[in-house]
């Protein structure tokens, strides 16, 4: 079952099927669900970054107009670990009354010492972040190559400096939360949740309520952004469902903006002292890094520096990594678009350009000299994988982007421009896995009335997953994507993999293809019986079934009407994990031909830096990206441009700022937590580097990774001074310029 | 009245509106016919205005008069979403920063999160839903769809209404003028590049590099 070699719809630019509904506000997101007699719920949260609850008095709140029920999340005596930690949820007849109830609750706290700054927590010798059996600082996976002692001996130049990037927030526009409703007998629960994992969210609630399989249903027809932060019901989802059970009424609980920023997810910070040395030709000889970052109150699995030096690791002979995970009284970090990669990109790519400048080597030449080599051993088992051809992929993509941006004409030596406003160009590379897996059962039904229905329980986060399903099926059945009716986002259909790590397109596409082909075959077999011809006399062509017996071209709809049965239906899914383990041919087909994993990607930024105000404007941006076989070129380009814009946001604007004294985030909003508007963004030129022979690979994460490092390097190229910490704000640019004027290196 | 134990330290916008609601409402009453609620809704002891209890109001939403009962502190956004099930306008920042709640009030764009519902009486409220009628899609959302200027789509109705208002006011607007009209809106998925394609298509202008 290979991908069709002639692709009529696959790989073209297809508008998303639900575009009209979304653009005119008729699409119902979970936040938009209003059920009969629905109550509204809100959560009272700790204002302290670290405390224990002394007393909790709800008497006054119970007398507030509209009050219906409480759900206690933390009892008196419990410890809270960050400002925003949940205490108690309340349901009332209106949102206004739910707010009134919150204001009437009295809580006394025993306030404890806290840490919200990584550097403070790193220095603290006592367990000031709280919790039993937890320390502020945990060693990460330190690593040193053999004989590192003399690693820097004989280098033509060595640079040592600090780099980093702070904590940022997912800022999903549709906040976390759900609407919960029980049936009359309180035996079945339905939730409309904003989630990246429809079956997982149902399962999380099922486990919480100790219910039987199938008794919880999760529906997510439209979803307003997750970026890695929405994989289960969360505390607010459980609270809503509990309150709905207590009150026997539907309950809506969606976080408000301050809550969304405070508890809806953060990306860990990363700071490191990097020492890098190279030969005069620009080959990196040694890379040493001592780094730390915080994933909030989580124990640290969410911060990983194990891929340093990023991308170029396999080409660098001497590597040393020291790595500490710092605990702080901030919400637990969640996966965020390409977890760990953007941070590692900044710690690697900025240092490389500083070394290139010291060596007087063009940064593009420097990167070409340090590309990870194609892996010969890997080529034997997965010749179409990233590892087997990574060097070749990057070389091809660099050649493309070099022409797109006119690098040879427009790049200049760092700081070479005169004048107040200086422009510069910078580049960076990235990689991501993006492989798929099952289970992702998919059903295709061809109805006698000519309609075609596609079903899965997967979710469309704005990735155009609905459209992807329709494209593949349309290609197989000779139809247009608009001919296919797609239903997804309903857990009662069956399992599906969560949409995280760019796994949805590769995880679902082969099952969709197989279901479509199986349905087509069943359709033609049934039709052959009705037409009294051999099955192999019938074939599909655009819009028609071709009967070779009489050279008749039967319009698809007419052919359906001749089926003689209400419909033909096919179900398909991935082979099981065990089947894949036991069968080399199955593994080859599903994981190296239909799908694969590992992509490259090159990005280049052009910036203008005002050396009087410190304001950085990204004036142009170029991105070259591969993702194997492209299903929808339009949606792919949207993903890449969107990833770049998210990267530009954390390059220039975004940062969670915590107040050392109160332990609270001071910008848990959208006015002081800066996000770009349309005027802030440059034109972005995207080139999809199509490699159809590789099968389907995910595209969600990669395009956001290299962006900030490319911008950082463009700023360095413009002003000849390194601004080491992202976001590269006017304050930091001016500080770097002042530092140089003061004579510091 | 503000509980120091709640997360927000200062008075929230909502509290502020609640406190000033009486004054605003009185102004609306002085404006006469816009306030439909009968005198019985007046609640003495609150400065001679209305509230804090719910009052009946009539809003003209997408050309249709609809009635509901709300407390005067309820914003136009929450009245539309929570009381009238008009959900094309989205609640995101809820304080006039992101533009997801953008609607037209007598043809002018406003952040519905920052207008009281009672103030919107007697005025023409238009939301994104009005741009699809009898199977016919308005040119603005159609351009968004063609250019793929939306991903998750949660911000999109706000952008669409903002763009529609610019083009309604000036059908000959140049791309830069249309783009200026979108500067009060924020998209998280990063669809600005495709939005520019949509703008140029609507302005019948070829986009250079």
Verify that B50 and B120 share a domain, yes or no. yes
Mean pLDDT of B15-19: 42
A97 to A532, A694, A718: CA distances (angstroms):
70, 56, 55
> Looking at the partner chain, which of B14, B82, B185 has a beta carbon nearest the beta carbon of A99?
B14
Question: Which parts of A612-710 are beta strand (E)?
Answer: 616-626, 684-689
Neighbouring CB atoms inside 10 A of A399's CB total: 13
Contacts of A305 (CB under 8 A, 6+ apart): A140, A141, A270, A272, A289, A291, A293, A321, A323, A340, A343, A344, A347
Using the beta-carbon criterion (under 8 Å), do B154 and A675 form an inter-chain contact?
A: no
Confidence of residue A124 (pLDDT cuts 50, 70, 90): confident
> Looking at the partner chain, which of B95, B186, B191 has a beta carbon nearest the beta carbon of A642?
B191
Verify that B116 and B33 share a domain, yes or no. yes
Using the beta-carbon criterion (under 8 Å), do B88 and A106 form an inter-chain contact?
A: no
| ∠ Cα B198 B134 B63 (to 5°) | 90
| Contact list, A259 vs chain B (CB under 8 Å) | 7
Whether residue B180 lies inside any domain: the answer is yes
| Contact list, B95 vs chain A (CB under 8 Å) | 257, 669-671
Kindly state the percentage of chain A with pLDDT values over 90.
Answer: 95
Does residue A415 carry a pLDDT above 80? Answer: yes
Neighbouring CB atoms inside 10 A of B174's CB total: 12
Give the CA radius of gyration of chain B.
19
CATH code (residue B150): 1.10.150.120
Contacts of A203 (CB under 8 A, 6+ apart): A216, A491
Confidence of residue A131 (pLDDT cuts 50, 70, 90): confident
Minimum distance, in Å, between the CA of residue A251 and any CA atom of chain B: 12
Confidence of residue A326 (pLDDT cuts 50, 70, 90): very high
Q: Is the peptide bond before A631 cis (omega within 30 degrees of 0)?
A: no
What pLDDT score was predicted for residue B207? 85
Whether residue B37 lies inside any domain: the answer is yes
| Contact list, B11 vs chain A (CB under 8 Å) | none
Does residue A622 carry a pLDDT above 60? Answer: yes
Verify that B116 and B137 share a domain, yes or no. no
DSSP 3-state assignment of B83? helix
| ∠ Cα A631 A634 A635 (to 5°) | 70
A697-732 pLDDT, tens per residue?
A: 999 999 999 999 999 999 999 999 999 999 999 999
Mean pLDDT of B180-205: 97
Does residue B21 carry a pLDDT above 50? Answer: no
| Contact list, B127 vs chain A (CB under 8 Å) | 25
Task: Judge contact between A679 and A646, C-beta under 8 A.
Answer: no
Mean pLDDT of A171-185: 98
Minimum distance, in Å, between the CA of residue B29 and any CA atom of chain A: 23
Does residue A455 carry a pLDDT above 90? Answer: yes
Does residue A478 carry a pLDDT above 60? Answer: yes
Which domains are seen in chain A, by residue range?
Answer: 19-26+436-593 (3.30.365.10), 32-113+171-263 (3.30.365.10), 339-434+596-741 (3.30.365.10)
Confidence of residue A316 (pLDDT cuts 50, 70, 90): very high
Verify that B68 and B166 share a domain, yes or no. no
Minimum distance, in Å, between the CA of residue A500 and any CA atom of chain B: 15
Separation between Cα atoms, residue B170 and residue B181, nearest integer Å: 11
Using the beta-carbon criterion (under 8 Å), do A25 and B128 form an inter-chain contact?
A: yes
Give the total residue count for chain B.
209
Is the backbone of residue A56 left (phi > 0), alpha (psi -120 to 50) or beta?
Answer: beta
Give which of A174, A172, A209, A171 is closest to A190, Cα–Cα.
A209
Confidence of residue B153 (pLDDT cuts 50, 70, 90): very high
Identify the DSSP state of A314.
G
Mean pLDDT of B154-179: 97
Between residues B22 and A418, which one has the greater pLDDT? A418
DSSP 3-state assignment of A202? helix
Verify that B39 and B81 share a domain, yes or no. yes
Which residues, in sequence order, are bridge partners of residue A92? A40, A67
Whether residue B47 lies inside any domain: the answer is yes
Per-residue buried b or exposed e for A5-37, using 16+ beta carbons within 10 Å of the residue's own CB: eebbbbbeebbbbbbbbbbbbbbbbbbbbebee
Whether residue B81 lies inside any domain: the answer is yes
Give which of A168, A134, A164, A141 is closest to A268, Cα–Cα.
A168
Separation between Cα atoms, residue A194 and residue A230, nearest integer Å: 7
Query: Total structural domains in chain B?
Result: 2
Q: Which residue shows structure tokens 């059962």?
A: A441
Backbone angles phi, psi at B182, to 5 degrees: -100, 5
Separation between Cα atoms, residue A310 and residue A313, nearest integer Å: 6
Verify that B79 and B163 share a domain, yes or no. no
Minimum distance, in Å, between the CA of residue A315 and any CA atom of chain B: 34
Does residue B1 carry a pLDDT above 50? Answer: no
A391 to A54, A330, A376, A673, A715: CA distances (angstroms):
60, 40, 11, 38, 27
Give which of A454, A485, A471 is closest to A12, Cα–Cα.
A471
Which tokens belong to B75? 């914003």
* Mean of the per-residue pLDDT values of chain A: 97
In this structure, the dihedral spanned by the alpha carbons of residues A550, A556, A560 and A561, taken in order and rounded to 10 degrees, is -80
Verify that B175 and B86 share a domain, yes or no. no
Contacts of A40 (CB under 8 A, 6+ apart): A91, A92, A93, A94, A95, A97, A98, A251, A252, A253, B82
Q: What H or E segment, with its residue span, contains residue A274?
A: strand A270-278
Using the beta-carbon criterion (under 8 Å), do B145 and A15 form an inter-chain contact?
A: yes
Neighbouring CB atoms inside 10 A of A360's CB total: 11
Strands A684-689, A616-626: parallel, antiparallel or unpaired by DSSP? parallel
Verify that B26 and B121 share a domain, yes or no. yes
Confidence of residue A493 (pLDDT cuts 50, 70, 90): very high
Whether residue B5 lies inside any domain: the answer is no
Does residue A390 carry a pLDDT above 60? Answer: yes
Minimum distance, in Å, between the CA of residue B88 and any CA atom of chain A: 4
Give which of A260, A240, A243, A264 is closest to A252, Cα–Cα.
A240
Task: Using the 3D structure, point to which of B104, B126, B148 is the last residue of a domain.
Answer: B126
Does residue B202 carry a pLDDT above 70? Answer: yes
Whether residue B207 lies inside any domain: the answer is no
A227-237 pLDDT, tens per residue?
A: 999 999 999 99
Residue in chain A nearest B74 by alpha carbon = A96
Preferred mutation among A15, A19, A21, A25 to probe B, highest tally of B CBs within 10 A: A25
Verify that B153 and B119 share a domain, yes or no. no
Verify that B50 and B138 share a domain, yes or no. no
Does residue A524 carry a pLDDT above 60? Answer: yes
CB contacts < 8 A (A, B): 220
Range of the domain at B46: 13-126
Task: Using the 3D structure, point to which of B126, B152, B178 is the last residue of a domain.
Answer: B126
Task: Using the 3D structure, point to which of B126, B158, B177 is the last residue of a domain.
Answer: B126
Between residues A478 and B204, which one has the greater pLDDT? A478
Task: Judge contact between A139 and A300, C-beta under 8 A.
Answer: no
Does residue B26 carry a pLDDT above 60? Answer: no
Minimum distance, in Å, between the CA of residue B5 and any CA atom of chain A: 6
The ipTM value here is 0.97
Whether residue B7 lies inside any domain: the answer is no
Q: Which residue shows structure tokens 């390194």?
A: A722
> Looking at the partner chain, which of A105, A223, A679 has a beta carbon nearest the beta carbon of B179?
A679
**Chain centre distance of CA B127:** 7
Task: Judge contact between A732 and A165, C-beta under 8 A.
Answer: no
Verify that B136 and B120 share a domain, yes or no. no
Verify that B98 and B154 share a domain, yes or no. no
Mean pLDDT of A152-180: 98
B28-78 pLDDT, tens per residue?
A: 333 333 333 444 445 545 566 788 899 999 999 999 999 999 999 999 999
**Chain centre distance of CA A128:** 32
Does residue A205 carry a pLDDT above 80? Answer: yes
Task: Judge contact between A342 and A429, C-beta under 8 A.
Answer: no
Question: Which parts of B63-205 are beta strand (E)?
Answer: 64-70, 102-105, 108-111, 124-126, 132-133, 136-137
A334-386 pLDDT, tens per residue?
A: 999 999 999 999 999 999 999 999 999 999 999 999 999 999 999 999 999 99
A288-314 pLDDT, tens per residue?
A: 999 999 999 975 556 788 899 999 999
Whether residue B2 lies inside any domain: the answer is no
Separation between Cα atoms, residue A73 and residue A88, nearest integer Å: 5
Q: Is the peptide bond before A309 cis (omega within 30 degrees of 0)?
A: yes
Residue in chain B nearest A82 by alpha carbon = B7
Separation between Cα atoms, residue A185 and residue A175, nearest integer Å: 30
């Amino acid at each position: 079952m290979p991908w069709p070699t002639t692709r009529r719809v696959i790989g073209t630019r297809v508008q998303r099927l639900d575009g009209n509904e979304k653009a005119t506000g008729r699409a119902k997101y979970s936040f938009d669900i209003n059920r009969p007699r629905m109550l509204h719920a809100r959560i009272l949260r700790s204002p302290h970054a670290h405390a224990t609850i002394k007393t909790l008095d709800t008497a006054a709140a119970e007398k507030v107009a509209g009050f219906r029920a409480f759900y206690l999340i933390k009892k008196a005596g419990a410890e809270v670990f960050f400002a925003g930690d949940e205490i108690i949820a309340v349901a009332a007849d209106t949102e206004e009354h739910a707010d009134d109830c919150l204001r009437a609750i009295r809580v006394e706290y025993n306030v404890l010492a806290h840490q919200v700054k990584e550097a403070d927590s790193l220095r603290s010798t006592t367990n000031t972040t709280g919790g039993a059996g937890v320390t502020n600082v945990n060693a990460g996976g330190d690593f040193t190559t053999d004989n590192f002692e003399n690693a820097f001996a004989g280098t033509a130049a060595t640079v040592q400096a600090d780099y980093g990037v702070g904590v940022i927030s997912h800022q999903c526009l549709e906040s976390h939360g759900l609407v919960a409703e029980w049936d009359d007998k309180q035996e079945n629960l339905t939730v409309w949740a904003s989630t990246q994992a429809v079956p997982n969210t149902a399962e999380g609630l099922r486990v919480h309520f100790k219910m039987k399989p199938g008794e919880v249903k999760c529906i997510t027809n439209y979803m307003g952004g997750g970026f890695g932060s929405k994989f289960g019901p969360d505390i607010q989802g459980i609270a809503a469902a509990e309150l709905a059970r207590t009150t026997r009424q539907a309950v809506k609980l969606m976080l408000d903006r301050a809550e969304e920023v405070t508890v809806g997810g953060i990306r860990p910070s990363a700071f490191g002292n990097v020492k890098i040395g190279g030969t005069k030709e620009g080959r990196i000889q040694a890379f040493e890094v001592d780094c730390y970052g915080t994933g909030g109150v989580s124990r640290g699995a969410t911060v990983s520096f194990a891929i340093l030096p990023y991308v170029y690791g396999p080409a660098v002979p001497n590597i040393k990594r020291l790595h500490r995970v710092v605990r702080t009284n901030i919400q637990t970090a969640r996966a965020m678009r390409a977890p760990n990669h953007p941070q590692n990109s900044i710690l690697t790519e900025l240092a490389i350009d500083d070394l290139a400048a010291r060596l007087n080597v063009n940064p593009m030449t420097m990167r070409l000299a340090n590309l990870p080599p194609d892996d010969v051993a890997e080529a034997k088992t997965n010749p179409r994988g990233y590892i087997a051809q990574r060097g070749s992929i990057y070389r091809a993509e660099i050649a493309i982007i070099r022409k797109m941006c006119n690098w040879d004409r427009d790049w200049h030596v760092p700081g070479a421009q005169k004048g107040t406003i200086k422009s510069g160009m910078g580049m960076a590379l990235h990689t991501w896995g993006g492989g798929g897996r099952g289970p992702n059962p998919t059903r295709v039904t061809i109805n006698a009335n000519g309609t075609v229905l596609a079903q899965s329980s997967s979710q469309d986060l704005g990735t155009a997953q609905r459209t992807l399903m329709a494209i593949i099926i349309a290609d197989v059945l000779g139809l247009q994507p608009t001919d296919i009716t797609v239903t997804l986002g309903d857990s009662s259909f069956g399992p599906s993999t969560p949409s995280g790590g760019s796994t949805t397109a590769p995880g679902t596409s082969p099952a969709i293809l197989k279901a479509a082909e199986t349905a087509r075959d069943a359709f033609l077999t049934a039709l052959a019986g009705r037409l009294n011809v051999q099955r192999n006399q019938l074939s599909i062509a655009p819009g028609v079934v071709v009967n070779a017996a009489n050279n008749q071209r039967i319009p698809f709809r007419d052919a359906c009407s001749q089926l003689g049965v209400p419909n033909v239906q096919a179900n398909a899914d991935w082979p099981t994990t065990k089947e894949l383990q036991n069968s080399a041919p199955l593994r080859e087909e599903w994981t190296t031909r239909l799908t694969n994993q590992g992509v490259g990607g090159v990005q280049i930024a052009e910036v203008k830096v005002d050396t009087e105000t410190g304001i950085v404007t990204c004036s142009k941006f170029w991105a070259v990206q591969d993702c194997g076989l492209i299903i929808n070129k339009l949606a792919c380009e949207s993903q890449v441009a969107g990833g770049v814009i998210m990267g530009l946001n954390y390059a220039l604007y975004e940062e969670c700022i915590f107040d050392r004294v109160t332990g609270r985030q001071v910008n848990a909003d959208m006015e002081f937590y800066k996000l770009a508007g349309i005027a802030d963004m440059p034109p972005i030129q995207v080139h999809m580097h199509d490699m159809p022979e590789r099968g389907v690979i995910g595209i969600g994460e990669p395009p956001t990774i290299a962006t900030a490092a490319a911008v950082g390097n463009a700023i360095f190229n413009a002003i000849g001074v390194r601004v080491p910490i992202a976001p590269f704000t006017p304050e930091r640019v001016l500080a770097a310029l002042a530092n140089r004027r003061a004579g510091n290196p | 009245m503000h509980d120091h134990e709640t997360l927000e330290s200062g008075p929230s916008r909502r509290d502020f509106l609640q406190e000033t609601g009486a004054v605003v409402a009185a102004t609306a009453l002085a404006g006469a016919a816009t306030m439909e609620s009968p005198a019985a809704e007046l609640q003495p002891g609150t400065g001679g205005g209305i509230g804090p209890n719910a009052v009946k109001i009539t809003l003209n939403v997408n050309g249709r008069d609809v009635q509901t009962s709300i407390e005067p502190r309820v914003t136009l956004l929450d009245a539309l979403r929570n009381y009238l099930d008009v959900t094309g306008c989205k609640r995101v920042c809820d304080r006039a920063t992101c533009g997801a709640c953008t609607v037209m009030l007598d043809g002018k764009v406003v952040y519905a999160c920052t207008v009281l519902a009672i103030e919107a009486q007697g005025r023409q409220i238009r939301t994104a839903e009005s741009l699809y009628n009898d199977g016919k899609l308005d040119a603005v959302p159609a351009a968004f769809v063609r250019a793929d200027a939306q991903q998750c789509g949660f911000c999109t109705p706000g952008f669409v209404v903002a763009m529609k208002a610019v083009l309604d006011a000036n059908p000959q607007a140049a791309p830069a003028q249309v783009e200026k009209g979108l500067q009060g809106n924020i998209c998280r998925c990063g669809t600005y590049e495709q939005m520019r394609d949509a703008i140029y298509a609507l302005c019948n202008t070829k986009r250079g590099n």
